Amino acid sequence: MRIYIYNGGEKLVGKSGVGQAIRHQREMLRRAGMATTEHWTADAAAIHINTVLPDSLLAVLSARLRGRKVIYYGHSTMEDFRSSFKGSDRLAPLFRQWIKFCYGLGDVVLTPTEYSRKLLESYGMKKPVYSISNGVDTSFFAPSRQRREAFRRRWGLRDGERVVISVGHTIARKGLPEFLELARRMPEVRFLWYGWTDPRLLPQSIQDAMAQAPDNVVFPGFVDRETLREAYCGADVFAFLSREETEGIVVLEALACGIPTVLRDIPVYDGWLESGREVYKAADVDGFEAAVRGVLDGTLPDLREAALTTARSRSLETVGRRLQEIYRREGILPEPEPAAVPAVSPLLFGKNSFTGPM
């Protein structure tokens, strides 16, 4: 049996978290011993759809005509559409109606966290909605002294020179204005923002903010995963100041590489990332500055071991097994013999993960 991972629109979303999630789905199923395909085959039992682009509706229709199950991934919400691109705030209510329509075409909806599951259900979704992490490749993203040294050589860093990084689209929702203000307050620290967004999509205020960035800020642009892994391993703090997320794959990658992490205190992290346990959280620039300075000068406790444990609990292998459980619950996979079911920690996906859709 195969799972059809629909790749329509992947070129458009390939540099985003959605594109990463699609690649994760292929790999987690492979590691779980399941075959995938990128077109309909006789043994394809279901289709995964990850985008809300118009071509996805044709893929749903094709599945219906074949009598196959549709698994729709709810990566986007109205809340995380806001403060992104030109006109996004005005279009957000229409976007909510569109994604509700698209997700409603699925037989089952999967979304990364309990927070995003509750948001989708608040839209009036009638189909079963499960929370399941996008996962992280802990065999690739892992601590490395060699990669730390390579990063410091790449950037010509002197002994004792500190670096703070962030990763994502260069948009307000990702916390770019706060990141730049933090850099202004800490001119002795180098700040790097990895990621790129077509300037034509950006509001003028963000374009101006980037043009007026302080001298200690560098925008390396979009980089390959090897370079990004090197940055996670080599930098001193990962400051992800996003105002809204459905999970944050880059957060999992950073935790898996063992970099001390500072986050904005937003609901998506409730229940799986606790301030002072795996990460440090704050609500504003004053708090971000206090947390970053505390990590850099060693006055705050080192949380990296707990962070690594959390990242490893969401490995692709573990999430792949969880995905198989959902397939069985939804009649896509047959039930195995009881002894053949691998154990999965209930800490993995939230309190409702093993009681079915809520």
Indicate the pLDDT class of residue 357, thresholds 50, 70 and 90. very low
According to DSSP, the β-strands at 261-264 and 2-5 are unpaired
CB 158 within 8 A of CB 194: no
Nearest CA to 2 out of 40, 31, 56 is that of 40
Domain locations along the chain? 2-135+314-340, 145-312
What pLDDT is stored for residue 141 in this prediction?
98
pLDDT score of 344 more than 80 = no
pLDDT score of 347 more than 50 = no
pLDDT digits (tens, 9 = 90+) for 263-312: 999 999 999 999 999 999 999 999 999 999 999 999 999 999 999 999 99
83: left (phi over 0), alpha (psi -120 to 50) or beta: left
What pLDDT is stored for residue 84 in this prediction?
87
| Dihedral sign computed on CA atoms, order 293, 296, 297, 298 | positive
Order of strands, sheet of 217-221, starting from the edge strand that comes earlier in the sequence = 217-221, 190-194, 163-167, 237-240, 261-264, 280-282
Six token digits for residue 231: 């940055």
Indicate the pLDDT class of residue 342, thresholds 50, 70 and 90. low
Interval 228-232 mean pLDDT: 98
Indicate the pLDDT class of residue 133, thresholds 50, 70 and 90. very high
pLDDT score of 353 more than 70 = no
Superfamily of domain 2-135+314-340: Glycogen Phosphorylase B; (3.40.50.2000)
Alpha carbon distance 93, 43 (integer Å): 39
pLDDT score of 346 more than 60 = no
145-312: same fold as 2-135+314-340?
Answer: yes
Give the architecture-level CATH label for domain 145-312. Answer: 3-Layer(aba) Sandwich (3.40)
Indicate the pLDDT class of residue 337, thresholds 50, 70 and 90. low
pLDDT digits (tens, 9 = 90+) for 47-97: 999 999 999 999 999 999 999 999 999 999 999 989 888 889 999 999 999
Of the listed ranges 147-151, 214-218, 334-338, 348-352, the least confidently predicted one is 348-352
Task: Give me the percent of the chain exceeding a pLDDT of 70.
Answer: 94
Indicate the pLDDT class of residue 338, thresholds 50, 70 and 90. low
